[in-house]
């Protein structure tokens, strides 16, 4: 195997795939990246057996390029390429002993390799439903809900994100049992029946990292895998095997008290109050009366914070309710509009938060359980 490539050309697919490679692996080959060259198309593949990413780049026609495939240590390869000067050329050549020589200018490195045959791969055909979506829309669906995923919960299906495709919509849902985030995009496709898949946490985070807003991607939802393809990469992730909770039952239905206010003003007020909240429970108390929201927080050191914010409040009576302040701030951070609306039922029921000006481009809603303070 032999080829020449510019540093920038090689770094782009290498950075795509290297983050999925774990430093400590039970199988030594999983610490490596698979490099394949065929018809001047260079492919780099990284996997941890749960998530696989393939980055591709087209090489210029050159007589000295020789097809082949080999695996190289991912971290060392990344460190070498990053340390080389900008716009330098890198020459890769495999010797008879199976080692790979990397040369650039007066620098020369020889890396040990492992056979490509040892590298695990996912089936080329995963079957299932296929549709197209813009990279920006898919990234927004992920980023609008990812913060609400559970982290190392024994209910393993909560340590991931639900994707639901039905005629005309694609929806993402995440919950950790204390809060729920749901984002919906209208889509010009139809599926024979509603499809639900659960993507593991690592897959969700990697996909958000590599999606670009200016590309169209193809999504394939199979029975055991999800695959996303674009011109630059192919992303494949195993699915979580389990039944996701019925999220629609969690959405409050009978709320008759509405707070509407400026998102940034409320975010800043809650952030200031959070400074003196209990470090363990992070509770704040909300008192809604007329056109005023009073936010109070205290801690075991007898310290107190109090904020008053002017809001629009529609309700038949005053309301006092407690929440984990971090959950509220997380929602303020992902909403895009100038305003936020919070719908309450009573002081013991979950609140529903959304953007009142979301319009027809899709909507995101957030459910937060109250705290007893």
Q: Bigger pLDDT: 26 or 310?
A: 310
List, for residues 235-264, the tens digit of each pLDDT value. 999 999 999 999 999 999 889 999 999 999
- Cα dihedral value 328, 333, 339, 345, nearest 10: -20
Predicted local confidence at residue 64, as pLDDT: 81
Whole-number pLDDT of residue 62: 67
Residue range 10-55, pLDDT digits in tens: 999 999 999 899 877 788 999 999 999 999 999 999 999 999 999 9
Q: The CATH number of 257-368 is which of 3.20.20.80, 3.10.150.10, 3.90.1200.10, 3.40.50.720?
A: 3.10.150.10
Q: Report pLDDT digits (tens) over 95-136.
A: 988 899 999 999 999 999 999 999 998 888 888 899 999 999
Evaluate whether 129-249 and 257-368 have a shared fold.
yes
Q: pLDDT value at position 359?
A: 67
pLDDT at 193 over 90: no
Superfamily of domain 2-118, CATH level 4: DNA Polymerase III, subunit A, domain 2 (3.10.150.10)
Sequential DSSP letters for 263-330: HHHHHHHHHHHHTTS-TTT-EEEEEEETTEEEEEEE-TTS-EEEEEEE-EEE-SS-EEEEEEHHHHHH
Cβ neighbours of 232 (radius 10 Å): 16
Residue pair 46/72 in contact (Cβ under 8 Å)? The answer is no
Q: What is the pLDDT of residue 212?
A: 84
Report the C-alpha gap between 240 and 142 in whole angstroms. 16
Domains of the chain, residue spans: 2-118, 129-249, 257-368
Structurally, at CATH architecture level, domain 129-249 sits in Roll (3.10)
The whole-chain average pLDDT of the chain stands at 94
């Amino acid at each position: 195997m032999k080829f020449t490539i510019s540093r920038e050309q090689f770094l782009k697919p290498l950075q795509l795939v290297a983050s999925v490679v774990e430093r400590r692996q039970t199988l030594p080959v999983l610490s490596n990246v698979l490099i394949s060259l065929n018809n001047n198309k260079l492919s780099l593949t990284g996997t941890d057996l749960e998530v696989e990413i393939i980055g591709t780049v087209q090489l210029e026609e050159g007589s000295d390029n020789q097809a082949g495939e080999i695996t190289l240590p991912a971290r060392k390869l990344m460190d070498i390429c990053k340390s080389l000067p900008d716009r330098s050329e890198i020459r890769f050549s495999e010797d008879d002993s199976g080692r790979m020589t990397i040369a650039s200018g007066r620098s020369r490195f020889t890396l040990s390799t492992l056979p490509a045959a040892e590298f695990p791969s996912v089936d080329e055909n995963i079957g299932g439903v296929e549709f197209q979506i813009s990279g920006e829309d898919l990234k927004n669906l992920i980023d609008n809900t990812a913060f609400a995923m559970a982290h190392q919960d024994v209910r393993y299906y909560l340590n991931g994100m639900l994707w639901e495709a039905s005629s005309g919509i694609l929806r993402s849902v995440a919950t950790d049992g204390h809060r729920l985030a749901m984002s919906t995009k209208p889509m010009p496709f139809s599926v024979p029946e509603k499809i639900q898949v659960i993507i593991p946490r690592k897959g969700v985070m990697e996909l958000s990292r590599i999606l670009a807003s200016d590309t169209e991607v193809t999504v394939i939802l199979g029975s055991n895998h999800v695959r996303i393809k674009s011109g630059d990469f192919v992303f494949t992730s195993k699915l979580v095997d389990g039944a996701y909770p019925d999220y629609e039952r969690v959405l409050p239905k009978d709320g008759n008290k509405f707070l509407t206010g400026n998102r940034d003003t409320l975010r800043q007020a809650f952030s200031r109050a959070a400074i003196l909240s209990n470090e363990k429970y992070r509770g704040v108390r909300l008192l809604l009366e007329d056109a005023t929201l009073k936010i109070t927080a205290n801690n075991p050191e007898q310290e107190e914070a109090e904020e008053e914010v002017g809001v629009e409040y529609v309700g038949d009576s005053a309301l006092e309710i407690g929440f984990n302040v971090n959950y509220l701030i997380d929602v303020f951070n992902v909403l895009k509009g100038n305003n936020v609306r919070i719908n309450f039922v009573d002081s013991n029921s979950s609140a529903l938060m959304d953007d009142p000006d979301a319009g027809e481009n899709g909507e995101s809603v957030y459910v937060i359980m109250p705290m007893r303070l």
